[in-house]
Amino acid sequence: MSRAHKTTDPLLTTVEEIRAEAEKLGFTVFYGWTHGNDETTVYWNPEHGGSWKDFLACAKSLDVRILYLSWAPFEDFQIDDALEELGRNSVGTESPGSNSLVGEIEGYRKQVGLTATVEMAFKADGILHICEIQADWFKEFEAITDKAAEEKAAIKEQPVDKVLVNQWAERLATHPSYGTCKSNDQREYLLEKLAGKEYDTLPLGHIMGRAETIYQFEVKPEVEKQLREQARVLREQGLNMNAIALRLKVSKERISGLLAE
C-alpha cells in the first residue's frame, strides 16, 4: 500500500511556518495535546477571526508565553473504524447503498501518512483557547463518515417486513450453494441471482443476518447429518479417507471429523 511522502504534505509545511512565526513572536512552544476534562475551552473561528497567524497575534496581545502545538497524521485505523461504523462487516445493519460509501471511504487510503490536523492552543485567564486546522480532504472524509453514521442510524429506524425477510432468508439459506460461499459478498451475489430485479428493493442486512441464522441452526445440521451417513456408507464399502473425500467433494479432514462423531 502506497503512502504519501512528507514532501507532499501541505499541513506539515504549515507546522513549520507556525514554528517560525511562534519563534518570531517570542513564544515557547510546548509540543503536546492540550485537552482537559475540567478546563473551560473555546475554539477559534477562522471565518470571523482570520487565519492561524491572527490566532497567534491574539495570543501575543494577551502576553501569552507558552504555545501548545500538536499535529496528527491520517492513519489506516481511521478508515477501518469508519468502515466498521458503516456496518460493512455487520450483515445485520448493512444497507443497499452502503457499497458506494465503502468505495469512497476506501479511496482515502492514499492519504494515509499525510498530516490530517494541526492544533494550537494557549491558556489565558483560566481559559484554554484552541485553533484547529484540518486538511480539506480530511474535512471531506469526516463528512463522508458522518453520512455513513446517519445512514446506518436510518436503517435501524426503518420498519422491516418480517414476512419478506423470512421468505428470502429461507430461500437463500436453503440454496445448495449457500454453504460453499466463503464470504458475505459471495452470499450477497447469490441472493442477487435469486432475487433478480427485486434485489435492489430488499432489506439486505436483515435478510443476510436471518439467512445465516437459519443456515447454522436448521440447514447445516441436516447437511452434516446426510454427509456423515454418506461417508459411513462409503467407508463400509471399503473406500479410504482420500477416496471418500474425493467422492463427496469435501476435505479429508472434514471426512475424518464426520466419521469420528
- pLDDT at res. 91: 40
- pLDDT at res. 94: 46
Statement to judge: residues 65 and 180 lie in one domain:
no
Within a domain: 48: yes
Statement to judge: residues 20 and 145 lie in one domain:
yes
Domain boundary among 107, 128, 157: 157
Statement to judge: residues 182 and 249 lie in one domain:
yes
Statement to judge: residues 14 and 131 lie in one domain:
yes
Helix (H) or strand (E) holding 73: strand 66-73
Within a domain: 1: no
Within a domain: 215: yes
Statement to judge: residues 225 and 248 lie in one domain:
yes
Within a domain: 206: yes
pLDDT, one tens digit per residue, over 196-208 is 999 988 888 889 8
CA 119 vs CA 26, 60, 235, 241: distances in Å = 19, 17, 71, 65
Statement to judge: residues 132 and 209 lie in one domain:
no
- pLDDT at res. 6: 47
Q: How many domains does the chain have?
A: 2
Q: Which cell numbers hold the place of 253? A: 479432514
Pick from 165, 154, 162, 152: nearest CA to 207: 165
Domain boundary among 157, 187, 204: 157
**What's the rounded Cα separation, in Å, for the pair 104 and 106?**
6
pTM: 0.54
Statement to judge: residues 225 and 141 lie in one domain:
no
Statement to judge: residues 134 and 114 lie in one domain:
yes
215 lies in which domain range?
162-260
Statement to judge: residues 29 and 153 lie in one domain:
yes
* Regions in the chain scoring below 70 on pLDDT: 1-7, 34-38, 87-100, 151-158, 261
Residue 147: how many other CB atoms lie within 10 Å: 14
**3-class secondary-structure state, position 35:** coil
Statement to judge: residues 126 and 18 lie in one domain:
yes
- pLDDT at res. 253: 78
Question: Which sign does the torsion angle of CA 42, 43, 47, 52 carry?
Answer: positive
- pLDDT at res. 34: 64
Statement to judge: residues 42 and 151 lie in one domain:
yes
Statement to judge: residues 121 and 169 lie in one domain:
no
Within a domain: 65: yes
- pLDDT at res. 157: 53
Within a domain: 169: yes
Domain boundary among 157, 172, 204: 157
- pLDDT at res. 23: 94
Within a domain: 138: yes
